[in-house]
Amino acid sequence: MSSSEALRDSKNISGGRMKEKVSSRMIVTAVTVWFLIVAAGLFAFTRYKSTPGDLVPAPGAWPPESELARTAGIPTLVMSSHPRCPCTRASIAELNELMSQFHDRLTAYVLFVKPAGVSHEWTKTDLWQSASRIAGVHVVIDENGIEAARFDALTSGQVVLYDGAGRLQFSGGITGARGHIGDNLGLRRVISLLSGEDPDRTDSPVFGCPLHDPEEMLKEHHDATTKF
């Protein structure tokens, strides 16, 4: 082998090693960056899922204008739901668990808010079917969300619990995160109340879709204000 060939061979070998070294470095960098981006994505996603919807305090007493029948001496629970909110699937599942314990000690309603301009069929989704199947639950189509508004419900899945005397005991959600079934504070509080115990709080975040179109609500508010 000539010296020039030896020199060329040596450069090829070291060049190959260098290429491999750079590639390994690039790969390690790529893996690290990838992991950080994915972690950030998961963080953002989890934060979204843990971000509750709007919640305002419900009326302290059973609204007299409510068309829902209430039996004196028996607690009444009302869940306001958007018929197409995916997160409410978890709320209804938790309601099912609640009713499995307390169906004979509780009157429960699930209001499915029917916006103006849509048909009844639009409202009767799989959520409607799931709620209908829960023993002891009365499913109601709430035209334009009037009934839900009486309880100041803004977010799908909001639950209000009134005792037998019509006093508000709980207002909030019964899921731990958006669309997330499983053990959660809201459900525990409702169970405590129904069990005659005092919970740590009487509210909890509601995770669900807005019951109303915010622009429509804004317009209505503006109209009402202007009219006033």
Which residues would be at the binding site for other proteins (CB under 8 A)? 23-24, 27-28, 30-31, 34-35, 37-38, 41-42, 45-50, 82, 84-87, 89-90, 113, 115, 117-118, 156, 176-177, 179-185, 188, 209-216
Q: What are the DSSP calls for 110-161, one per residue?
A: EEEEE-TT--HHHH-SHHHHHHHHSTTEEEEEEETTHHHHHTT--BTTEEEE
Any idea of the CA torsion for 155, 159, 163, 165, to the nearest 10 degrees? 30
Shortest separation between residue 197's beta carbon and other proteins, angstroms? 16
Q: Which is nearer to other proteins, 16 or 214 (CB)?
A: 214
From the CB of 228, what's the least distance to other proteins, in Å?
Answer: 23
Distance of closest approach, residue 25 Cβ to other proteins, in angstroms: 11
Smallest gap from Cβ 102 to other proteins, in A, equals 19
Amino acid present at 204: S
Structure token pair of residue 30:
């790529």
Report the residue number, 89 or 150, with the smaller CB distance to other proteins.
89
CA atoms of 38 and 50, how far apart (whole Å): 18
CB of 8 or CB of 47, closer to other proteins: 47
Q: Contact, 162 vs 69, CB < 8 A? A: no
